[in-house]
Amino acid sequence: MRIRKIGVVGAGTMGAGIAALAASAGVPVVLLDIPGEDGDRGGPAKKGLERIAKSKPAAFMDPDRIRLIQTGNTEDDVELLADCDWVVEAIIEQPGPKQALYERLEKILPEHALVTTNTSGIPMSVLVQGRGESFRRRFLGTHFFNPPRYLRLLEIIPTPETSPQALAALTAFGERMMGKGVVLAKDVPGFIANRLGVYGSVQTMRLMQEHDLTIDEVDTLNGPLTGRPKSATFRTADLSGLDVLKHVRGGLAEATGEDFTMPQWALDLVDQGRLGEKTGAGFYSKQGKQIQTLDWKTGEYRPQEKPEIPGVAEIAKKPLPERVRGVLQLPGKYGAFARAQFARAWHYALTKAPELAYDIVGVDRALEWGFAMEQGPFRQMDAVGLDVVRQTIAAEGLDEPELLRQAGDRFYSEDGRTFLAFDGSRQTLPEAEGVVSLAAVRRAGGVLEENAEAALLDLGDGVALLEFRSKMGTLGEGVIRMIATALERVDRENRAGLVISHEDPRAFSAGANLVATLGAAREGRWDELDASVRAFQTATTSLRKAPFPVVVAPFGLTLGGGAEITLHADRVQVHAETYIGLVETGVGLLPGGGGTKELLFRFTSELQSYEEADLFEAVRRAFGMIAMATTSTSGLEAKKLGFLREADRISMNRDHLIGDAKLRVLDLAPGYAPPPPRVINALGNRAIGNLRYGVWSLHEAGQISDHEVLIATEIAKVLCGGDGPPRQVTEQDVLDLEREGFLRLLGTEKTQERIEYTLKTGKTLRN
């Protein structure tokens, strides 16, 4: 079944967010809310949409996609839903209004339309009361997390009556079109993620009090140190809202009869309106630039501290399992707190998993995708070692749960391919269609070449993949060498083509390795620097010249040299969440790996086919993007800005990115010929003058420094084909100008200061 258009009822936080995500995916949406009382009957839905359009971080991947959303109210416009294939309900969390809505939907929706609820806790069995058999077959839960664009998890909750077709259609749509990580959950209070997550949060608060720790200390122990997000326990709670936490834990306590008690001082915060981020204060508060932490004993805020917990520095750089084991052994109250916390969290996951989920894989994914944990509880227990888990649980006076007994030494096999099922058998993890796992390729002996920074893998069907292995995908000498090796080998072995991508969670590439560059510049090794810029230019341009298709599949941060590699692909298969930018000016440089040249040729070629076109517009566009270090906030926006072309494609789901890129290579390979070399008309010194005029006005207005004028002038020279009369230029002509400008800037003290500052702080120095 194809979902072509969707309806969303309830234009609040969740409904409007889901609508924005679907529209970002290119799907038309009808968004309804209750009628307005002030004469504008469509007001509430319109306001909901306006609110989400302004939300930060942005809910839309491209603000223009708002045009795919039609708003209305549930009394006058309900027939707008009549041609929707899926209607998701995200109204007030009360059974009565939800049931009344379904009763109306049952009458007007086509026989095939799916209906889902975003409820966080009302049982499906209650919601479908009174509905007919056909409706029940098409009804299920789709539990998105806030904000729907950024939180990866989508829990899908089928009922015993939901048809397999309905479940399959929504799972596929959720994964492929909306890019979510789908986990099937059972129809129980809190489903998987909230049940375990909220249990963990309230336990942590209580144990903090019992063991007399501070909020800063707990967030240090519960952050990246133990494989959890930077926001750890308390900042996460601030982000989701203390009122939400209080409400959800109340609902869970009532529905399960289990102990979800929050300490009184935390409940008091809610009564005082200290709800977290949205009210400016919660467990943390921001005073100007300074972050303050709540002293839970007094209710006052104190400047945030980086606590010195004895023993933490010694383990901080170790691999995750050793860090967790290390935290469990910390001296004094810290270790005692950690042991109690882990014991309870593990014990709860072990005893509740069969009730909440269909398998342990679902539990792990729910916490990894919903709470940004590096490893869900079962993977974590395997990593720490089940003997340690057993000891920790026993020392807290808890019994050994059945699942732990059945596990023996491990929950997952060493290679991660099989796992312990709830019936005690070992099952194989199903392979998801269209998903290429590089770990599996490596396991199967698919490594063709490797060095410390990069590798070449065999993806099968004649397609090779070049992966960066350096930290943040930085492009050093090893990567450049691997590009040459890859191109040579794919050609020699007559393979179909090459994909460039990898599996880092955050960054395709943070750009060139500036440590080596700065060192060489400081020591005046200019011949070496000239050679390395040439080598980088050769690497990027040779991607274009290869006699087979090269598809680059970037994701996350794709900056500087990473953007230049992307710009030289035959086609780009981009992840929806990709932040591409030529950001070299931030470190006082210009894009010297073909990035300046590529934007110039791309924008000029587009205009050259119009006889009367003013080519200066193309130059100005490229100049603006490079000088301002414009960075896209999504794959869609990268297209709009011109980093990507019409033929480049977006994968909404990160897991499908490499598989999609591989298909792209196979699609392009038959009859492939590289694009011919290009020549354009460069505009020469008059155009430089025009660009400089604008730069000067900014300088006069005090907005940019002398050094920024110099950087901008160097960029202008490259984009105008040098400081002479207008002339025809080849790509190599402009590459030469790029390299010269790059090296001149690198020779200045101010640029070297910028690089040093960025390497030290990760920030930009505006000198």
Q: Omega of the bond prior to 57 within 30 degrees of 0, cis? A: yes
Helix 320-328 to helix 377-384 angle, to the nearest 10 degrees?
80
Query: In the set 6, 7, 8, 10, which binds ligand NAD (CB under 6 A)?
Result: 10
* Nearer to ligand NAD among residue 36 and residue 684 (C-beta): 36
Binding mask 313-352 for ligand NAD (x = CB under 6 A): ----------------------------------------
Looking at the DSSP bridge assignments, the partners of residue 141 are: 117, 157
Query: In the set 12, 223, 434, 674, which binds ligand NAD (CB under 6 A)?
Result: 12
321 C-beta neighbours (distance < 10 Å), count: 16
Q: Which of residues 350-389 bind ligand NAD (CB under 6 A)?
A: none
* Nearer to ligand NAD among residue 12 and residue 28 (C-beta): 12
Q: Classify burial at 338, counting beta carbons within 10 Å of its beta carbon; exposed 0-12, middle 13-18, buried 19 or more.
A: buried
The answer to whether 13 contacts ligand NAD (rule: CB under 6 A) is: yes
Query: In the set 33, 155, 453, 660, which binds ligand NAD (CB under 6 A)?
Result: 33
* CA angle (146, 633, 50) in 5-degree steps: 55
* Nearer to ligand NAD among residue 276 and residue 592 (C-beta): 276
Give the burial string for 231-248 (b: 16+ CB within 10 Å, else e). Answer: bbbbbbbbebbbbbbbeb
The answer to whether 90 contacts ligand NAD (rule: CB under 6 A) is: yes
The answer to whether 154 contacts ligand NAD (rule: CB under 6 A) is: no
* CA angle (373, 374, 380) in 5-degree steps: 95
* Nearer to ligand NAD among residue 120 and residue 566 (C-beta): 120
* Nearer to ligand NAD among residue 60 and residue 757 (C-beta): 60
Q: Which stretch binds ligand NAD (CB under 6 A): 9-17, 262-270, 440-448, 714-722?
A: 9-17
The answer to whether 11 contacts ligand NAD (rule: CB under 6 A) is: yes
- Sign of the C-alpha dihedral, residues 507, 509, 511, 517? positive
Q: Which of residues 481-500 bind ligand NAD (CB under 6 A)?
A: none
* Nearer to ligand NAD among residue 146 and residue 542 (C-beta): 146
Q: Which of residues 42-71 bind ligand NAD (CB under 6 A)?
A: 44, 48
- Distance in angstroms (rounded) separating the CA atoms of residues 378 and 348: 12
C-alpha distance from residue 534 to each of 10, 432, 480, 529, 622 (Å): 57, 42, 11, 8, 22
- Least distance between ligand NAD and beta carbon 701 (Å): 43
Of 49, 39, 47, the C-alpha closest to 8 is 49
- Least distance between ligand NAD and beta carbon 281 (Å): 20
Say if strands 463-468 and 454-460 run parallel, antiparallel, or are unpaired: antiparallel
- Least distance between ligand NAD and beta carbon 293 (Å): 24
Of 333, 316, 305, 299, the C-alpha closest to 208 is 333
The answer to whether 192 contacts ligand NAD (rule: CB under 6 A) is: no
- Least distance between ligand NAD and beta carbon 106 (Å): 15
- Least distance between ligand NAD and beta carbon 94 (Å): 8
Beta strands in 34-145, from DSSP E residues, in sequence order: 69-73, 86-89, 114-117, 139-144
Tokens encoding 283: 């467990």
* Nearer to ligand NAD among residue 156 and residue 340 (C-beta): 156
Query: In the set 9, 207, 350, 683, which binds ligand NAD (CB under 6 A)?
Result: 9
The one-letter code for the residue type at 754 is R
- Least distance between ligand NAD and beta carbon 57 (Å): 15
- Least distance between ligand NAD and beta carbon 577 (Å): 20
Which residue minimizes CB distance to ligand NAD?
Answer: 12
For ligand NAD (CB under 6 A), the number of binding residues is: 25
Give the burial string for 552-567 (b: 16+ CB within 10 Å, else e). Answer: bbbbbbbbbbbbbbbb
- Least distance between ligand NAD and beta carbon 143 (Å): 6
Query: In the set 92, 126, 429, 759, which binds ligand NAD (CB under 6 A)?
Result: 92
Farthest-apart Cα atoms in the chain, separation: 84
Phi-psi region of 232 (alpha: psi -120 to 50; beta: other; left: phi over 0): left
Query: In the set 80, 91, 644, 658, which binds ligand NAD (CB under 6 A)?
Result: 91
Q: Which stretch binds ligand NAD (CB under 6 A): 3-11, 55-63, 265-273, 698-706?
A: 3-11
- Least distance between ligand NAD and beta carbon 33 (Å): 5
- Least distance between ligand NAD and beta carbon 4 (Å): 23
Q: Which stretch binds ligand NAD (CB under 6 A): 93-101, 106-114, 168-176, 703-711?
A: 93-101
* Nearer to ligand NAD among residue 277 and residue 667 (C-beta): 277
- Least distance between ligand NAD and beta carbon 101 (Å): 6
Looking at the DSSP bridge assignments, the partners of residue 80 are: none
Q: Which of residues 114-153 bind ligand NAD (CB under 6 A)?
A: 118-120, 143, 145-146
18 C-beta neighbours (distance < 10 Å), count: 28
- Least distance between ligand NAD and beta carbon 93 (Å): 4
3-state SS, one letter per residue, for 400-429: CCHHHHHHCCCCECCCCCEEECCCCCEEEC
The answer to whether 97 contacts ligand NAD (rule: CB under 6 A) is: yes
The enclosing H or E element of 394 equals helix 386-395
Looking at the DSSP bridge assignments, the partners of residue 558 are: 509, 580
* Nearer to ligand NAD among residue 251 and residue 561 (C-beta): 251
* Nearer to ligand NAD among residue 108 and residue 531 (C-beta): 108
The answer to whether 537 contacts ligand NAD (rule: CB under 6 A) is: no
- Distance in angstroms (rounded) separating the CA atoms of residues 412 and 378: 8
* Nearer to ligand NAD among residue 240 and residue 540 (C-beta): 240
Q: If DSSP codes are grouped into helix, strand and coil, which group holds residue 470?
A: coil
37 C-beta neighbours (distance < 10 Å), count: 9
* Nearer to ligand NAD among residue 277 and residue 740 (C-beta): 277
- Distance in angstroms (rounded) separating the CA atoms of residues 226 and 323: 6
The answer to whether 14 contacts ligand NAD (rule: CB under 6 A) is: yes
Cβ atoms of 198 and 247 closer than 8 Å: no
- Least distance between ligand NAD and beta carbon 11 (Å): 5
Cβ atoms of 366 and 193 closer than 8 Å: yes
- Least distance between ligand NAD and beta carbon 368 (Å): 18
The answer to whether 34 contacts ligand NAD (rule: CB under 6 A) is: yes
299 C-beta neighbours (distance < 10 Å), count: 12
DSSP labels, 334-374 = HHHHHHHHHHHHHHHHHHHHHHHBSSHHHHHHHHHHHH--S
- Least distance between ligand NAD and beta carbon 148 (Å): 9
- Least distance between ligand NAD and beta carbon 247 (Å): 9
Q: Which stretch binds ligand NAD (CB under 6 A): 86-94, 269-277, 313-321, 492-500?
A: 86-94
The answer to whether 434 contacts ligand NAD (rule: CB under 6 A) is: no
Q: Which stretch binds ligand NAD (CB under 6 A): 60-68, 88-96, 513-521, 701-709?
A: 88-96
Say if strands 181-184 and 153-158 run parallel, antiparallel, or are unpaired: parallel
- Least distance between ligand NAD and beta carbon 89 (Å): 8
The answer to whether 277 contacts ligand NAD (rule: CB under 6 A) is: no
- Least distance between ligand NAD and beta carbon 84 (Å): 15
| Residue carrying the six token digits 């998903």 | 435
Which residues in this chain contact ligand NAD in the complex, by CB under 6 A? 9-15, 33-34, 44, 48, 74, 90-93, 97, 101, 118-120, 143, 145-146, 244
